[in-house]
Amino acid sequence: MSNPVRRARRVLAVAVAGAVLALGVTACSVDSSASNDKPTIRVAYQSFPSGDLVVKNGHWLEDALPGYHVEWTKFDSGADVNTAFVAGEVDFGAIGSSPVARGLSAPLNIPYQVAFVLDVAGDNEALVARNGTGIESVADLRGRKIGTAFASTAHYSLLAALNQAGLSASDVQLVDLQPQASLAAWQRGDVDAVYTWLPTLDELRKDGKTLVTSRELAAAGKPTLDLGVVSAAFADAHPEVVDAWRTAQSRALTTIADDPAAAAKAVAAEIGGTEQDAAAQLKQGVFLAPAALSSPEWLGTDGAPGNLANNLHSAAQFLAEQQQIGAAPDLAVFQRALYLEGLPGAVQ
């Protein structure tokens, strides 16, 4: 369990270190330290069921870019992915929309851009109360201990759920826990409820009651998404790599829709569990058709940023209202943070 103040200090310390490092290296260059002497593309991934895991398992990015070494590094939450971007340690990343809204705001001001929508959160993220606690609704959480990964989409959705029920963060006891740590705390009886995502969520549901899902919160005006982001400097220097990455991700979305068994097999191989479990978990998310990604509702096209920028701006405004960030940047900041070069061609 990490203290939020300690986390903030850590992020700021890493930011300073990253700034110093930037004086000695070129941010847009691809890491060439791989033992095979190929330039390295550094990809941050998370182990939630998504097309990103299908791409990883199938080695599709490696096949599309034989001149590069692709280095995949697992992260536990969006906050950790943000920290890695601040430190200049990754080029691409799978990360939730709330951490992206935070990352594009002060004091982080991370120079990355959104290049893909991996999924829209549905029933794959939820708030669950432990059986035996007597908690039957979100309103019953007053004074209770709730675990969630701070600065994640789950944290954002938890704040939205509390707000909807007439509660604030100060009315409950929030505990900063990554998914696996939240499961351990749950099993010990250290927390009364947890807001988290799959596959940990399925374990909690075996001994708990779902109070609200991210699908329900989206319908109430607080949607969350899992996004694919890329370092702005990397995208400027290597647009062909970004196109190859988006093409691979688009292929994964098509596989989830047209060959769910193959997608489930790949996801199961990456996160463990059975293919049946993976198939059920994939059904709980909302995956867009590749052609929809460049529509006005989502990314948009070059010169015409889509509504995703408004979504991120709204998330930042809510985070500011909840005193999670100092202030929300202007909408233009989020519009510029959409990587639209090559659209719609790269996502067909």
Q: Tell me which DSSP letter residue 286 carries.
A: B
Q: Which of 227, 340, 225, 244 is nearest to 41 (CA)?
A: 244
How do residues 96-145 score in pLDDT, each as one tens digit? 999 999 999 999 999 999 999 999 999 999 999 999 999 999 999 999 99
**Residue 175 pLDDT more than 70?**
yes
* Per-residue pLDDT band at 348 (split at 50, 70, 90): confident
Query: How distant, in Å, are the alpha carbons of 62, 153, 263, 344 from that of 72?
Result: 11, 22, 19, 26
pLDDT > 90 fraction of the chain, expressed in percent and rounded:
88
Rounded Cα distance, 74 and 64, in Å: 21
For residue 32, the model assigns a pLDDT of 46
User: Averaged over 44-60, what is the pLDDT?
Assistant: 97
Of 36, 118, 131, 137, the C-alpha closest to 299 is: 118
pLDDT score, position 347: 86
Question: Is the separation of the CB atoms in 146 and 193 below 8 Å?
Answer: yes
99 preceded by a cis bond (ω within 30 of 0) = no
pLDDT of residue 120: 94
Poorest-pLDDT segment among 15-19, 247-251, 298-302: 15-19
In sequence order, what are the beta bridge partners of 71? 42
| Predicted pLDDT of residue 30 | 52
Handedness of CA 117, 118, 121, 122 (dihedral sign): positive
By the 8 A CB rule, do 128 and 193 touch? Answer: yes
pLDDT of residue 325: 96
Closest residue by Cα to residue 308 from 270, 336, 283, 285: 336
Residue 37 pLDDT class (50, 70, 90 cuts): confident
Per-residue DSSP letter, 297: T
> Helix count (H) and strand count (E) of the chain?
15, 12
pLDDT tier for residue 27 given thresholds of 50, 70 and 90: very low
**Position 58 confidence tier, pLDDT thresholds 50, 70, 90:** very high
As a whole number of angstroms, the distance between CA 309 and CA 195 comes to 25
In the block, which residue shows the tokens 């691979």?
248
